[in-house]
Amino acid sequence: MAAVLAACSPPQEEEQAGGLAPAEPADEPGHVLPPATDTFRYVGRWAESVEQCRKEAWTLTRDRLAAPEGIVCDFRSITKSPGGYAIDATCRVDGEEEDDDLILRFAESAKAMLVEGASSLPQTGLVYCGEAA
């Protein structure tokens, strides 16, 4: 009788996932990137960690970046480059304005966008939080 009950009961979670923990939902922050086919793939909300998506997200539009701590960059020209974009920008930090060259690259396996080359922004990896509000 015990064997019959065991056969009818639902499989344990561990068995369902092949001995692994259940996969994270793909639409959760940090688990997807915007499609590579998007013209301006960087547009949206980004953060240094999933936990920061709510309160410390960077907002990128087609022609502007607004980062935490009041950093704002206006894009003058955008060039698609291998794996991302090269952007000529004017950035304002603490009231000071400077010309800057940003490089945004996508790390597909890490599900992140890398910000590099800018003197006014930290070199960092950002996870996708979702569309800009």
- Closest alpha carbon to 80 in 40, 121, 45: 40
Residues 82-103 have pLDDT tens digits of 899 999 999 999 889 999 999 9
**Token digits for 53?**
């998506």
d(CA 117, CA 129): 22
Q: What band does 13 get if pLDDT is binned at 50, 70 and 90?
A: very low
Number of helices (H), then strands (E), belonging to the chain: the values are 2, 8
Which residue type sits at 75? F
Q: What band does 4 get if pLDDT is binned at 50, 70 and 90?
A: very low
What is the structure's pLDDT at 94? Answer: 87
Please name the residue ranges forming H helices in the chain: 2-8, 13-16
d(CA 63, CA 61): 5
d(CA 50, CA 43): 17
Residue 116 has pLDDT above 60, yes or no: yes
What is the structure's pLDDT at 7? Answer: 42
Q: What band does 20 get if pLDDT is binned at 50, 70 and 90?
A: very low
Residue 18 has pLDDT above 60, yes or no: no
Residues 65-80 have pLDDT tens digits of 999 888 999 999 999 9
What is the structure's pLDDT at 2? Answer: 42
Strand stretches in 41-81, DSSP E: 44-47, 58-61, 64-67, 71-81
